[in-house]
Structure 1
Amino acid sequence: MTRMIFVNLPVTDLGASMAFYQALGFENNPTFTDETAACMVWSETISVMLLTHDKWRTFTSRPIPPATSSEVMLAISCESREAVDDMNEAAAANGGTADINPLQDLGFMYNRNLADPDGHVWEAMWMDMAAMPTDT
């Protein structure tokens, strides 16, 4: 079996969160979606499970952090600098927050940070490995 990652996120409004992630380019997998959870697919190996708070609490008794907190920053690669910009703009237009941290442009690497409607932080990034500086 191919190694995969499923990122589980507690959300306050499942429908709004699904719409947000679809606007960013994720696709819904209806096989793993019901009224308490939605599987949003980024690639063949990366999926995000959006879980209502009640569903989340069936997995852990740890508290759900407030939307103003950052526990992790999830970085996902994009195909181009323009795709990074498009994702950031889609976040702002669909209930999220764009540019929660300063834009980073190192020439060979470009990223922008955004937050979903529940405050989960994502780093949309693009990197040109051929242009990456090397030590000589």
Structure 2
Amino acid sequence: MSTTPAPEFHAIGLVVSDLAASLAFYRRLGIEFPEGSEDQPHVEAALPGGLRLLLDPESTVRSFHPSWRPPTGGGRMGLAFRCTGPEHVDAVYEDLVGAGYHGELKPWDAFWGQRYAVVHDPDGNGVDLFAPMT
């Protein structure tokens, strides 16, 4: 058994192809990034529970890891946003799709007891919208 303490989960980092587009998407979901973040090489936002969401443009990652390439195949990582109720899932989904984001899975009443939908962020990451059925 190791005497070294386990590291603390502290942040979720995304490498983004278009920082301004990603900021617009996540701000639409209520995440507050500082004004002027669009021109920065790295941005962070506080999340509930003490976590942080980190966005790094591809150019920043390539500045210290020149051979880095975006992963292929996708569909391996997703973020989930809890909505206030089933109708809120529908409204948020319609807002995002109406703003031009890709709707992967329209809202539906999932067998596990949630209203559930999936949209893609500008880089194709799945973003789940959910709320318990009432």
Is TM-score (shorter-chain normalized) higher than 0.5?
Answer: yes
Q: Corresponding residue for 1:106?
A: 110
* 8 Å Cα contact 1:110/1:126 also seen in 2: yes
Query: How many pairs are equivalent?
Result: 124
Q: Corresponding residue for 1:134?
A: none
Q: Structure 1 residues 82, 4: CA separation in 2 closer, same or farther (over 3 Å shift)?
A: farther
Q: Which runs of 5+ in 1 are unaligned?
A: 132-136
Q: Corresponding residue for 1:70?
A: 75
TM-score (norm 1): 0.70
For 2:121, give the aligned amino acid.
D
* 8 Å Cα contact 1:10/1:56 also seen in 2: yes
What is the alpha-carbon distance in structure 1 between the residues aligned to residue 107 and residue 65 of structure 2?
A: 35
What is the alpha-carbon distance in structure 2 between the residues aligned to residue 74 and residue 92 of structure 1?
A: 17
* 8 Å Cα contact 2:90/2:107 also seen in 1: no
Q: Structure 1 residues 39, 90: CA separation in 2 closer, same or farther (over 3 Å shift)?
A: farther
**Identity in percent:** 24
Select which of 120, 128, 131 maps to 1:123.
Answer: 128
* 8 Å Cα contact 1:20/1:95 also seen in 2: no
Moved over 6 A (4+): none
Q: Structure 1 residues 60, 80: CA separation in 2 closer, same or farther (over 3 Å shift)?
A: farther
TM-score (norm 2): 0.71
What is the alpha-carbon distance in structure 2 between the residues aligned to residue 6 and residue 12 of structure 1?
A: 19
* 8 Å Cα contact 2:13/2:55 also seen in 1: yes
